[in-house]
Every structure is written in structure tokens, then in C-alpha cells.
Structure 1
């Protein structure tokens, strides 16, 4: 009887230790490289202004972050993931399948996707169709779709520069890549008869489009040296590198804050983060961090993050987003449809 009691006590102690191992006061964040500069600022402020340690944040790309986030609950999985696009239905269903069933969605602002080049080059204006014809895997020719033969911008249109087409862009795990495919590739191809009115988003793999990884700062550095090339990245990186890079106009509209906010700039998208509510009991500062991120002094029209390139949401939308986060409102499948 004494042995049984001792064994029971040991088992209880092990279970207690396991529970304590999961309880922590440092938040773990993954996700979008575009949201990374904004989230990094908030994490530093959080570490400086609270009694909690600075959260650990990793730039994994939107798709990579959501995959990690949806792997399950408990130790070894992140508490928050950032995204430069909205969560997909398939990702929500994967979360549910793995037991992540209580998620709060936070919309923090807007951003434009920039086609950047060296500031030493002449300014350029491209249409969506010209940009599509530069990067699509297959393009129309003589009534059929063929492998993209365009090597120079002037091959697409004689009025464009006689420069080799070379574009550094994000990988398939990136929300910026997802948004580029939707807002540029699909939007342009749907207007082309050759694609039958359906969006075509396959990007060429012959070396013209160069997968530059998740670190958009590396793209900026490459453009400073490779002055013939272009790069695809978020507007915030344009703001952070004045005099080094410039953004191409798209459909005659420059990538500027007001044009992105109003929707006049054709390649604009929303930015988000997602909170795993099931971690709130074990990760004490989780909600405090989320609420700080949503404060007016962060995401408002005179907020700190605007200086880094975040485009604030309209007042009513910002208020609603803040309310959802403060109330820990659970995202549903119907919300994403």
C-alpha cells in the first residue's frame, strides 16, 4: 500500500512539473516578413514597458507561420502568427484538425506590394498586364499559350527599357507572394482572352524570377548592387530605404501611403496577426501584448507604426478590429468565406 501511494505521488509530481514546463512568460511569434518590422517594434516596446521578457519573434513567411501555428497547442507551437494575407479556409480547417479551435483574428492595417528598383534608375510605370507578361510561366502567342519568351522589358513593349527582365521575389511560403499572384497575376490574366477568363498565377522558373527568400532586406541590398533588377516587397521596405530604392508606378499610380489607403494603388492588401487563445492560461502576457499592438498609439493615424510604413485602417474598421482583439472573439469558418 505504501509503495502504491509513493508511486501515485511521483506520478502526480511528474504531471505537475509537465504543466509548469508549459507555463511561461515569454511569447513566441512567427510569420510574415512584411509584418515583421511592425511586430518587432511592438515586441521591443512590450519588453521595455512591462515586467515581461521581450517576445521571441521569427520571420518565417505567412504560409510558414500559419503552418507552425496550426500544428497544435502546447509547448513547441507558437502563440501568435503574423500574416500579410488573411488566413485561408484550408489553414483554418487544418488548425481545427490539430486542436487549434479558438483563434482571434487581428487586422492591423494596409500595405502595398511594391515593384522596386535602384533609385539611380529612371522612374518607370508598368501596367498589370506588362508585369504579368514579364513573370508568367506561359503567355499568349499566335492563339495559344507558350513558354514565356520575353527576356527584356522591351520584348513586352517597345516603350519599356531595353533591360534584362530580372526580378527578385518572395518564395511560395510568403504572403507577399500569395498577394502578388492574386492582385497582379490573376487580375491581369482574367482580362486576357487566352486564359478563358480564369486567373492564371504560375510564375516562370527559368531564372528570370529569382526566389530571394523571406528576408526582404536582402532584396533591397541586392537592388542597390544589381541596378538592372527589380524586387517585390512590402511598402514598409520602401519607406525604410529612401534614396536607395524607388517604387515603380502601377497603372499610373505611385506606391504612396494615401494611394494605398484609398485603394487607388492596384496592388494593396491587408495585414493581420492571429492569437492562439488556448495558450492564454499558460502564457500570461499573451493578451497584454495583443492589446498593446492594437492601441491607437501603435496602429492609429499618428501611431508609431505609421512611421515604419504601416497604412492605418479607417477609423471605424480600426475600432472594430480593436474590439475583436480585446474581446478575444473567436474566428469562425463563416468569417473566412
Structure 2
């Protein structure tokens, strides 16, 4: 059990254990994105092996939004030390952190991933576009009633098969990225939607990002492997999940091209595949010297995220060289994130 002794903030914002309890926290506590989960788990195992006596960090898949909520709950041993996310922290979340005393947050980009669209091996094969996906999944595409029942209803060149998409739930970073990088990317190209954004931004956000709720899109919780299982057993279903799960299950599922670009390592690293996105880790600076193993855990990430590193072998796409260099510095300097950087 992690100790429940209250933490005290020193003048330099370092955290010190208070009280007389000699028992140290057993392990680093990490929450967050299901997409980042397999990478974080691998890093945790390698860090424990590389540092004798260090307990393996506890990694929990809560979704990006849920993880940030836990992370921002406060400073102290009862709160997570790290949150992994498949999207950047929002300004509102950063403000919640600050309001709860989590004032020194370090943001580290750990790599890239892509929102992959896939079907079972031998199942549906379509060349998708953001517009096709938006018109198939939006609650009110371009402000109109959603009437599409089959893919052919969306585009006559597509199969006349019922629309059935398994994907991430609300609160998931993958769901946020789907809405922002695919649905809104299509919607904002429409002249009427551009005008709507100028006149009523809330209506624009709802029109461009709200997903239909009639079971054509089925949320599957924070377990991407469950989506893989669903589409593997149904050749007429489509799944949406992180690229790493596509690569890991290449014997069961096939990626669907988007704008003619296949979901591959190269196309994600170059952002040629729509839906490519950065992955992040947020660390409480105040916990660095109070939680044994936290510095070592962060350092292990930096040893693992290169193009030929162990995480690339399980699907992580390395960030561009200059981005990796900048984030490598953060793993030793622990530069604190500011509100202005999130704007």
C-alpha cells in the first residue's frame, strides 16, 4: 500500500514525507490513456529490472480524461504521480490542477500514434476520407439529419453494408482525437460550418464533433483490445483505436487507408495519415524526490522511445529528432509547463 502520510511542500516546491512513518511508498503510480498503457507498462517493467530494489510502477488504464482528473486531484501519496495521455492537457484541466495545488506539472511528449481505422483480415476494405467518416458518424452531419444506414448511403462507391463502428468512449483521448483530427477536420472545410463557427461556436462544436447515438457507433470502454476482438469476429465491422494495436494484431486485422494513405509507421511519423497525434506524459515535479523510483521511471522512457528502441518494436512511433531532443532535456531538467504553452 502507498502510504497515506500527508506530504508537505517545501519552498522549492519539492515534496517531503511528513510524520514518523518509516514506510516508503511501494511504487510509482501511473494512470491514463489506454493507448499509452502498453508502452507505459513496458517502461515500468524495464525500469524495475534496471534498478534492483525498485518496485515496478503501477500502471492503470483509466482513459486520458479520467486519468487527468485523478492526477489533478491533489499533491500527496494518495494521488497519482504520472498521467499518460493520447492528447494534450486542456487549459481547463491545467487550471483544475492548479486549483488543487498541483502547480508544478512537467509535460513530456513520449512519441506519436495514429488513430487507425481497421477491419478484420478479409473483411470490409474501404478507402476512407475524413468527410466519409464524418458523414457516417456525426449526429447531424453538416447540420442535417443523420439518415445514413449503410456505407453506400454515405458514398455510392462504398459497400452497401450497414455502418457499424466500434470505438473509444467519451473521456478517452482517442475519442477526442477522432473528433478533432478526423470529424472536425472534415466539418471545418464546409463554408456553412465556417460561418456557423463565427456566429455560434457552441453550435459549431456540437455539429462538428457530436457522434451519433443510434448504435451505428458503439463505444467499447477503455480497452482497445476489446475493439480488436469485436471486429475480428465480425468481418462487416470497423474499429477505431491506436495504431499500436493495429500493428500488434496484424494477423487479425487490416488497416483501412485514409485519403489514400495507409496507417503505417512511416505515414504516421510524417503525418501523411490523417489522425496522427502526439502522446504525452505529465509528471508531478513535487513528487520527484518523495516517490522512490519516479526519476528512474521517467529516465527509462527516455532510454526507450528512439526509432530503434524497445517501444518502437511494440508500435510506438518516434517523435521527430528535434522534438525528441527537446523532451529528452525535460526528463532531466523537469521544466514546468505554463498556461501560455497550452494556448
On whether the aligned pair clears a TM of 0.5, the verdict is yes
Structure 2's unaligned 5+ residue stretches are: 1-17, 198-203
2:225 is equivalent to residue 222 of structure 1:
no
TM alignment of 1:198-213, pairs within 5 A = 198=197, 200-213=208-221
2:332 is equivalent to residue 326 of structure 1:
yes
Which of residues 272, 275, 292 is equivalent to 2:280? 272
* Secondary structure at the counterpart of residue 147 of structure 1: coil
How far apart, CA to CA, are the structure 1 residues paired with 2:136 and 2:122? 22
How far apart, CA to CA, are the structure 2 residues paired with 1:174 and 1:158? 32
Name the larger-Rg structure.
1
CA distances 1:24-76 after superposition (whole Å, capped 9, x unpaired) = 14100000000001111001111222120111110000000000000001122
- Paired residues in the alignment total 315
Q: Which residue of 2 aligns with 1:48?
A: 49
Q: Which residue of 2 aligns with 1:29?
A: 30
How far apart, CA to CA, are the structure 1 residues paired with 2:283 and 2:155? 46
Conserved in 2, the CA contact under 8 Å of 1:35 and 1:82?
yes
* Secondary structure at the counterpart of residue 144 of structure 2: strand
Cα RMSD for the two superposed structures: 1.3
Tell me the TM-score normalised to structure 2 length.
0.89
2:185 is equivalent to residue 187 of structure 1:
yes
Give the C-alpha shift of residue 122 in structure 1.
Answer: 4.8
Give the C-alpha shift of residue 20 in structure 1.
Answer: 4.7
Which of residues 88, 113, 125 is equivalent to 1:111? 113
Which of residues 146, 152, 173 is equivalent to 2:171? 173
Q: Which residue of 1 aligns with 2:67?
A: 65
CA distances 1:98-150 after superposition (whole Å, capped 9, x unpaired) = 0001111110111110111111125320111011001000024xxxx333110
Tell me the TM-score normalised to structure 1 length.
0.90
2:240 is equivalent to residue 237 of structure 1:
no
How far apart, CA to CA, are the structure 2 residues paired with 1:139 and 1:110? 29
How far apart, CA to CA, are the structure 2 residues paired with 1:75 and 1:323? 26
Q: Which residue of 2 aligns with 1:146?
A: 144
CA distances 1:150-178 after superposition (whole Å, capped 9, x unpaired) = 01000011110111101111111100001
How far apart, CA to CA, are the structure 1 residues paired with 2:91 and 2:295? 25
How far apart, CA to CA, are the structure 1 residues paired with 2:22 and 2:133? 54
How far apart, CA to CA, are the structure 1 residues paired with 2:184 and 2:269? 22
How far apart, CA to CA, are the structure 1 residues paired with 2:194 and 2:318? 37
Q: Which residue of 1 aligns with 2:19?
A: 16
2:103 is equivalent to residue 97 of structure 1:
no
Greater mean alpha carbon deviation, residues 274-283 or residues 75-84? 274-283
